Structure 1
Amino acid sequence: MNLNDITGSGPETLLMGIVAAVFLLAGLVKGVVGLGLPTLSMGLLAGVMPPAQAAAILILPSFLTNAWQMWDGAALASLVRRLWPLQLGVVAGTLWAPVSLVTLDVGLASAGLGAALIVYALLGLFAMPLAIPQRGERVSSFAAGLATGAITSATGVFVFPAVPYLQALSLKKDELVQALGLSFTVSTVALFLRLALEGSFAVGRLPSGWILVLPLPAALLGVAAGQMLRGRVGEKGFKRLFFVGLLLIGIYMLARGVMH
């Protein structure tokens, strides 16, 4: 089933419901743990539209929810000073990666990312968490950004290895969520530029009408609800919830890749 099949056969209300539910759920997850919107959206929309098209309608809700998350806190200035090498790497990796959404096998990429996230989440839940030494942090930060950018270009997902890297910096709960918002905002802009360079926003390549508008309010509503839930979770509970969230996203991505 694809987008043309649905819109062409008449039950457009069904498609509206699918898109709204996808972005509401993805926004809720993002509001609670600070991530998951592009990952869940890309995966759940795979059955009704091509990956490049799903990434295109994801750009606006992803950018605005990430910008909201980035500005929602008092640590933005210090995070920018500390994490600018990571952001520089993300932009470079996204724009100049040799593979992209239109060239890489989506199933293989999804399965690989899912397996990596599962391993990392299990380490965080049942073993000592990873830590990044301050010496050489700028170099490791830039390298993590390059890898994240390359994976973003290939899959439309901003999670790996930026999320494990940021978590390894031992940031506090709200700082981590704000740092994720900063990284994801930069990733969204970089992905937009990559898609634009590849012609994904050319006339005739994008769906029209409500499908470009509906994802944004659904995602914002989900994020607002998720943030309310996060405010009731303590520091230790949040870390546990964070790793459980990563584990579930990893399992989902692995299963999606295997069944692709």
Structure 2
Amino acid sequence: MHLVANFTFFQDTQTLLVAVIAVFLVGLSKGGLGGAFALMGVPILSLVMPPMQAAALLLPILLMMDGISVWTWRGWFDRTTLWYLLPPAMVGIVIGTLTAAITSESFVRLIVGLLALGFVVRMTVLRAGEQPRGQGRLSGAFWGAFAGFTSFVAHAGGPPFQVYALQLKLDPRLYTGTSVMFFAIVNLVKVAPYAALGHFETKTLASAAVMLPLAVVSTLLGAMIIKRINAQVFYPFMYAMLTLVGAKLVWDGVTAFWY
């Protein structure tokens, strides 16, 4: 433990254990097992380190997981969905970079959370049994840009992506692979502005490297589970995960303003 403490953020056993729990949950999510677990990463790590340090530590780990997920889900993605969402997402990242200094992360989380909960109500109560919706250029442009922006400023790009993609009712494997590809590209593009902000110091990269084996195992485990779920189980599960994500984001936003 003393050797690890010399070059990482893991100064004691408690910090290392908390990091293991956080990375394991995020890995399950990156493998395809819902976005709710991914949002637990920074809050759990924030129990033992400053939130900004926690977010900086997770980004290299997310990039590792993205590589594993892209390989695991290779060939399983919908090109049309990516075509409609990715270019606007790049615009959203640019906007996030330019407005980072004046954007309230708490407000962004609150808005995204409310949108996620509203979407779940609309799709599961008001439009239950509705046929899949087709691709839309305007809606793709809006939700893609929103996903890129919120991913950059608050690590909360999942709900905007889900609002667009869940309505398509793709095969579960196709949906998951498309999500994996989308966020792998978004996270890769975020590297340059994050590096410019000085987030990738030596200890950050060393701490991420220590977590690499767990990142691999948890991501593959998430993919293995989701590949065995059929559509009748997958979509109710995803709506449940989106509900948890929305509730968590609303809670984060409200409590930040309250305190």
Query: Aligning the two structures, in what range does the TM-score lie when normalised by the shorter sequence?
Result: 0.7 to 0.9
User: 1:105/1:166 Cα in 2 relative to 1: closer, same or farther (>3 Å)?
Assistant: same
Distance 2:87 2:204 in 1: 33
Task: Give per-residue Cα distances to partners, 1:4-42, cap 9 Å, x unaligned.
Answer: xxx9xx961111111111111222244353534542212
Moved over 4 A (4+): 129-132
User: 1:167/1:53 Cα in 2 relative to 1: closer, same or farther (>3 Å)?
Assistant: same
Alpha-carbon RMSD: 2.8
Q: Are the counterparts in 1 of residues 92 and 149 from structure 2 also a CA contact under 8 Å?
A: yes
Partner of 2:67: 67
User: 1:91/1:53 Cα in 2 relative to 1: closer, same or farther (>3 Å)?
Assistant: farther
User: 1:124/1:221 Cα in 2 relative to 1: closer, same or farther (>3 Å)?
Assistant: farther
Partner of 2:219: 223
Distance 2:19 2:102 in 1: 25
Does structure 1 residue 88 correspond to structure 2 residue 87?
A: yes
Q: Are the counterparts in 2 of residues 70 and 180 from structure 1 also a CA contact under 8 Å?
A: no
User: 1:47/1:231 Cα in 2 relative to 1: closer, same or farther (>3 Å)?
Assistant: same
For residue 232 of structure 1, what is the amino acid of its counterpart? R
- The alpha carbon displacement at 1:256 in A equals 2.5
Partner of 2:254: 258
Q: Quick one: percent identity of the two aligned structures?
A: 20
Partner of 1:200: 199
Aligned residues: 245
Task: Give per-residue Cα distances to partners, 1:137-165, cap 9 Å, x unaligned.
Answer: 23432332211111122102221311211
Partner of 2:244: 248
Distance 2:216 2:25 in 1: 10
Task: Give per-residue Cα distances to partners, 1:201-248, cap 9 Å, x unaligned.
Answer: 3x5xx6457522233332322222222322332211011111111111
Distance 1:208 1:67 in 2: 19
Task: Give per-residue Cα distances to partners, 1:156-193, cap 9 Å, x unaligned.
Answer: 22213112111122211100000100111111112222
| TM-score (normalizing by structure 1) | 0.80
Q: Are the counterparts in 2 of residues 92 and 149 from structure 1 also a CA contact under 8 Å?
A: yes
Task: Give per-residue Cα distances to partners, 1:44-92, cap 9 Å, x unaligned.
Answer: 233444444333222222123233333414334xx23552241111122
Q: Are the counterparts in 1 of residues 112 and 160 from structure 2 also a CA contact under 8 Å?
A: no
Does structure 1 residue 12 correspond to structure 2 residue 12?
A: yes
User: 1:209/1:171 Cα in 2 relative to 1: closer, same or farther (>3 Å)?
Assistant: closer
**Runs of 5+ in structure 1 lacking a partner?**
1-6
Q: Are the counterparts in 1 of residues 27 and 218 from structure 2 also a CA contact under 8 Å?
A: yes
Task: Give per-residue Cα distances to partners, 1:80-111, cap 9 Å, x unaligned.
Answer: 355224111112211233432x5433333322
Distance 1:209 1:176 in 2: 31
SS across alignment from 2:103: coil
Partner of 1:28: 28
| TM-score (normalizing by structure 2) | 0.81
For residue 212 of structure 2, what is the amino acid of its counterpart? L
User: 1:80/1:255 Cα in 2 relative to 1: closer, same or farther (>3 Å)?
Assistant: same
- The 5 Å alignment of 1:1-260 reads 12-36=12-36, 38-71=38-71, 72-76=73-77, 79-97=78-96, 98-100=98-100, 103-128=102-127, 132-134=133-135, 137-201=136-200, 203=201, 207-208=203-204, 210-260=206-256
